[in-house]
Chain A
């Protein structure tokens, strides 16, 4: 079936079972998964969160996270059985023969030590290299991974290096002992699309070069299509199917896999601005803003949002998207310019706004987890704004909460008295939406509302927002870095970079060339399902230009 022969098997997992401890009992989280990996092969593990991808990745190193245990099956790495090996034997493999690249490099580098000290730790400990040799080798790896200033960058502390660079430094660290196998656990999920490309290209190059086998864990199909030879789809701790990348993309067999592929199909009709002279509901006029004492984060930002329309504000992290939202809501008074609501200027500071002005700008946040008070019941979370803004009490309030729960498609009788931690991520986000709706606003700011969610769940949220918009005539300002989301729901697009608006206009125009160079870079950086997409793109851009072409 593949280009790998049987005798080259590096890792063989059979009937792996892992249990997790919750509510004082052991629950199965991995229910009998088989996995075979050959030398030099890259296996993509995909599935939604909770599918057990990372758990399997850790188990391939014989490692069970705190609160989990390997309860059955075998894990054979190059002739060594890891389920029965001693702690010391397993430790001897880690770092030297099996290495790990974590999701968030910023959190996974120790803040107290320089990058190079962390890099050389494993090779020095295993006596593979002396300290100075290891250091020189690190610089070579940094160069291969196209890090800027490879001679010097290692001598910085992690917080002095950007996220994309840290992720590459972590890949270099994983390579320090030239392992046979690297586990990549969502290594680009936390990165912007433009940065993601650099990291993907770097990882792919280095894995090819040293013929390292890899398990590449991700929930992003388009990413895995670029990286993997073989793809395995997981659902709730069980394998759905496995096939070579080409076959999986062209011809998925299982319904679940097909549904994953189909997610990106949601699209709604694009609306255009009203022509009858209606005033924009929110108009941002020449705004400058800065946080205390630092440089400008917004520089002359202007755009309009008309009633009933969705305006997507896109850009990389640090481009000022969320700062604009803070200015509109009055959390951060702009240092220059003004915000108009239906033609009337809003006071810059929210303390000075009337209750009716406040109700008009509601927010839905990225992390529903942290945006909802875990100790407060759902009806209170939703009921508070209804009470505060509309003065509802008693049965009228209860009726309103029920209505809102109906709107977000949660059964009122079931959810009325529950607490946020008892809900799933998607349900929590729905409660966040209901809380915003409770104020009966005409305009809602959605700050990356789907980026913490799995694709299927995110799709549900987008459909809900769309339905609410049609029924209630809401206008949305949709902050996101995900261009697929923009494609599916936006009417107009505002592209931001370094606190400036670089381009804006109706979606169809924005997605058809010619673009502003930065828009072009953003658009072309979104991974596509085509397994040759990354190769083609890199050829087009020229390998050496990766990451640098962002300069305008």
Chain B
């Protein structure tokens, strides 16, 4: 067990190191863009004197390395600086939005992950039948259509024609969970449709790849029924690739959903990032990028650890 803990800690260390490298990239990439926050705040009418004074106020005339370290020190404590457009702390601008995004991602994941894995098991069991083909075609269709298109289709049928769900997912404070789930159902469903195919196909492929192993043949020759061959004998050995794909898709649910947010006017972090980029609000851009990077790294770390935990050779050393 000590080995396992050490392994996890090592991975965690690598993850932090990666995050540090990414933070350097983000900071200096933004640094290389023309103009800076001072010019941005003061706008076109600024005189060189006012710009210089603001730079001094904001500490922008210090060397980049020093500012990077200050920024990093703040970021570690959750302080990403001041938004250049609104003048509010960055955390106030994106904090609630990030929570909203997490909520929507969790909502979609709670539906999509079990559905995808169960469907994947079923199509592996019924491989090369009509059911398998139909499921493949449907999920492929949903993954190959753009999210905004899927979103509009769902709005058209479920909101406009059937009038079952609201087309716009506007949130207000004081809504209870049921209300929240109801209002965000359509964006969540859109995301479910987008991520299910990938996970389902990987589950199917990972299971089928194992079906030619000697221990699967052994199970069959022991008279184990087909569903049990898949669920009990193949699936436990197929977790590693499945977990990896699930982690990638979860990361996508958090970092890649801006189009869905726009379609449903959902106040998530994706929109905040797009706004910040168009308004050249560098502190917000940096904060969002760092949060996204951390999400990716954390989920991949979780996938690695999950894959290790499902490997009996590592869990039960000799």
Contacts and interface: CB of A to CB of B under 8 A. Distances in A.
A179 to B, nearest CB: 10
Nearest to B219: A110
B318 to A, nearest CB: 5
Contact of A104 (B214, B232, B236): B214
B233 interface: yes
Closest 8 CB pairs of A and B: A95-B223, A112-B236, A94-B223, A95-B222, A100-B221, A107-B214, A108-B218, A108-B214
B6 interface: no
Interface in B229-245: 232-233, 236-237
Given A112-B237, A113-B236, A157 B221 contact: no
B212 interface: yes
Interface in B171-225: 212-215, 217-225
Given A110-B237, A111-B237, A159-B318, A91 B225 contact: yes
B316 interface: yes
B313 interface: yes
Contact of A66 (B212, B232, B316): B212
Interface in A111-144: 111-113, 121-122, 125-126
B312 interface: yes
Given A111-B237, A157-B316, A160-B316, A126 B223 contact: yes
Given A110-B215, A159-B312, A121 B224 contact: yes
Contacts of A126: 223
A29 B138 CA distance: 40
A61 B222 contact: no
Nearest to B237: A112
| Most chain B CB within a 10 A radius of its CB, from A63, A103, A121, A173 | A121
Contacts, number: 74
A102 B222 contact: no
B212 A157 contact: no
Contacts of B233: 110, 112
A122 B215 contact: no
B223 to A, nearest CB: 4
A77 to B, nearest CB: 14
Nearest to A67: B212
Contacts of A108: 214-215, 217-218
B308 to A, nearest CB: 14
A480 interface: no
Interface in A86-110: 91-96, 99-100, 102-104, 107-110
A66 B222 CA distance: 17
Given A66-B212, A104-B214, A111-B313, 15 more contacts: A63-B221, A91-B225, A94-B222, A95-B223, A107-B213, A108-B215, A108-B218, A110-B233, A111-B237, A111-B312, A112-B233, A112-B312, A113-B232, A156-B316, A157-B313
Contact of A107 (B215, B219, B232, B236): B215
Nearest to A94: B223
Overall SS of chain B's interface: helix
Interface in B25-43: none
B298 to A, nearest CB: 27
13 contacts: A63-B221, A65-B217, A93-B223, A95-B224, A100-B221, A108-B217, A108-B218, A110-B236, A112-B233, A122-B223, A125-B223, A157-B316, A159-B318
Interface residues of B, number: 21
Interface of A: 58, 61, 63, 65-66, 91-96, 99-100, 102-104, 107-113, 121-122, 125-126, 156-157, 159-160, 173
Given A110-B219, A110-B237, A112-B237, A102 B214 contact: yes
A109 B215 contact: yes
Contacts of A94: 220-223
A141 to B, nearest CB: 15
Contacts of A111: 215, 237, 312-313
Contacts of A95: 221-224
A121 B225 CA distance: 11
A4 B316 CA distance: 48
B262 to A, nearest CB: 44
Contacts of A61: 221
Contacts of B316: 156-157, 159-160
Nearest to A65: B217
Nearest to B212: A66
A92 to B, nearest CB: 7
B312 A109 contact: no
Contact of B224 (A65, A100, A109, A125): A125
A121 B318 contact: no
Contact of B217 (A96, A102, A113, A159): A102
A10 B221 CA distance: 19
A66 B312 CA distance: 28
Contact of A100 (B218, B232, B313, B318): B218
B236 A109 contact: no
A27 to B, nearest CB: 20
Contact of A91 (B217, B223, B236): B223
A39 B182 CA distance: 68
A255 B217 CA distance: 36
B210 to A, nearest CB: 10
A86 to B, nearest CB: 13
Contacts of A103: 214
Contacts of A92: 223
A426 B282 CA distance: 68
B197 to A, nearest CB: 27
Given A111-B237, A111-B313, A159-B313, A102 B220 contact: no
Contacts of A58: 221
Contacts of B212: 66
A124 to B, nearest CB: 11
B218 A109 contact: yes
Contacts of B313: 111, 157, 159
